[in-house]
Amino acid sequence: MATHVKRAFKYRFYPSDAQAAELSRTFGCVRKVYNLALAARTEAWARQERVSYHQTSAMLTVWKKTEELAYLNEVSSVPLQQALRHLQTAFANFFGRRSKYPRFKSRKKSRKSAEYTTSAFRFREGKLTLAKMAEPLDIVWSRPLPEGASPSTVTVSQDAAGRWYVSLLVEDPTLQPLPAAGAAIGVDVGLDHLLTLSTGEKVANPRYDRRDRARLARAQRQLARKARGDGANRRKARRKVAKVYARITDRRRDHLHKLTTRLVRENQTIVIEDLTVRNMVKNSKLARAISDAAWADFRSMLEYKAHWYGREVIAVDRWFPSSKLCSACGTLRGKLPLNVRTWTCDCGTTHDRDVNAANNLLAAGLAVSVWGAGVRPQRSSPGGQSAMKQKTPRREP
């Protein structure tokens, strides 16, 4: 593990009218450049030709000289170049079979963001000034940056609820491996209970989506009554809907952060199930509940925090029969419908379905250190794929 880990610190800020206008122009130009480059690469794909990042960078220079796209010169060039780099990363992930083919950015639905590197911002004495701006951003420093930290990149974004954020990527020397802990734990995720631990502890599912469902429905009805188009009233109604969604998301993420931090601090090894959430949400009856539980976010947080603090996360194969296997004698039960929450094995042991699954996950996860069978190890890097899940890369044209 590296001595210093790069970490993003995200803060709320309140731009002036001039800054908001400049950033909005930048967001629009970033989206335009990304879409133009994606269109060029897609056309080349159809002709069995290859277009690299450097070629799209040369295209950007040509686009800026045209009368139609001359407005691209009005904003900082760095976020535009970063958009091309992000597109290159998206294609690399596609060819590596880690994601789908890149999609065009929508003016209404896509995330509004712009990334600045060191040449396009100044950070001095706790004040951040971006290129093309005379005044520093009015940032709410809700937590301090690491002492002596100097951002390598700055990402400015605006969410659907209209809130402005700035994210500073810095090296954080405070992120060091925690003292070794002898504890290991199995974690079974669910809907009735968000988590069931092999210790027998059950963590309630807060169901934040259900709590705010009436408020969300009311805001969506108000939006549905507004005339179609891009009128001011419809924008206000859309903003109200986005604020309800933002409230749900913020509370959910806060809860998951507290849970994952606690698990990582208390345990050296954490064993989870390798669920394919994107396939599970195709079930129309459970899609909303599964999305609200945010199992994928839980796993992502657990893995990058384990990477930070020198812990290990092991993902057991999704086909491992954790619920139907008796954790006492090893007998495999034939069928176990979802509505059966407790069952008794032939050996006389009565099992709580979820606690039994967590115990079996823990046993299978610990077995990887000896046999390596039936489990997938922790991803080599946060956001990456498991070594056993990788496939032959797709050939790039």
Query: For the whole model, what pTM was predicted?
Result: 0.83
Residues 143 and 201 in one domain: no
| Domains identified in the chain, total number | 2
Report, as residue numbers or ranges, the catalytic residues.
Answer: 188, 273, 354
- Whether 394 is in a domain gets the answer no
Q: For the chain, what percent of residues have pLDDT higher than 70?
A: 92
> Are both 324 and 188 inside the same structural domain?
yes
Go through the chain and tell me how many residues it has: 397
Pair 119, 195 in one domain: no
Q: Take residue 365 and report the two structure tokens written for it.
A: 């996860």
Pair (73, 165) in one structural domain: yes
Q: Residue 292 maps to which CATH number?
A: 3.30.420
Least trusted range by pLDDT, from 160-174, 218-232, 379-393: 379-393
Under a CB-based contact definition with an 8 Å cutoff, are residues 310 and 303 in contact? no
At residue 394, does pLDDT exceed 60? no
Residues 181, 338 contacting (CB under 8 angstroms): no
Last residue of one domain, picked from the residues 151, 172, 193? 172
Indicate the residue among 146, 172, 198 that finishes a domain.
172
Q: Counting beta carbons within 10 angstroms of the beta carbon of residue 3, is it exposed (0 to 12), middle (13 to 18) or buried (19 or more)?
A: exposed
Considering the domain boundaries, does residue 311 fall inside one? yes
Residue 221, in any domain of the structure: no
Residue 236 domain flag: no
pLDDT > 90? residue 237: yes
Q: What is the pLDDT of residue 395?
A: 37
Q: 113: pLDDT confidence band, cut at 50, 70 and 90?
A: very high
Print the SS3 string covering 289-305.
Answer: HHHHHCHHHHHHHHHHH
Exposure of 330 by Cβ count < 10 A (0-12 exposed, 13-18 middle, 19+ buried)? Answer: exposed
pLDDT of amino acid 43: 95
130 in any annotated domain:
yes
The pLDDT of 114-143, averaged and rounded, is: 95
Residue 381 has pLDDT above 70, yes or no: no
pLDDT at position 344 is: 87
The answer on 360 and 269 residing in a single domain is: yes
Q: Which domain holds residue 203?
A: 184-208+246-389
| Residue 307 in domain | yes
Tell whether 234 is covered by a domain: no
Pairwise CA distance, residues 104 & 37, whole Å:
10
Mean pLDDT, residues 200-216 taken together = 92
- Same domain? 9 vs 141: yes
More confident residue, 267 or 386: 267
Are 169 and 7 spatial neighbours (Cβ–Cβ below 8 Å)?
yes
Write down the pLDDT at residue 385.
36
Q: Are residues 132 and 18 in the same domain?
A: yes
How far is 282 from 273, CA to CA, in rounded Å?
A: 19
112 and 201 housed in the same domain: no
**Residue 224 belongs to some domain of the structure:** no
CA 381, 171, 1: angle at the middle one, nearest 5?
Answer: 40
**What pLDDT does 371 receive?**
56
Considering 213-227, 273-287, 312-326, 367-381, the range whose residues carry the highest mean pLDDT is 213-227
- Pick 23 or 172 by higher pLDDT: 23
Instruction: Answer yes or no: is pLDDT of 174 > 90.
Output: no
Position 197, amino acid: L
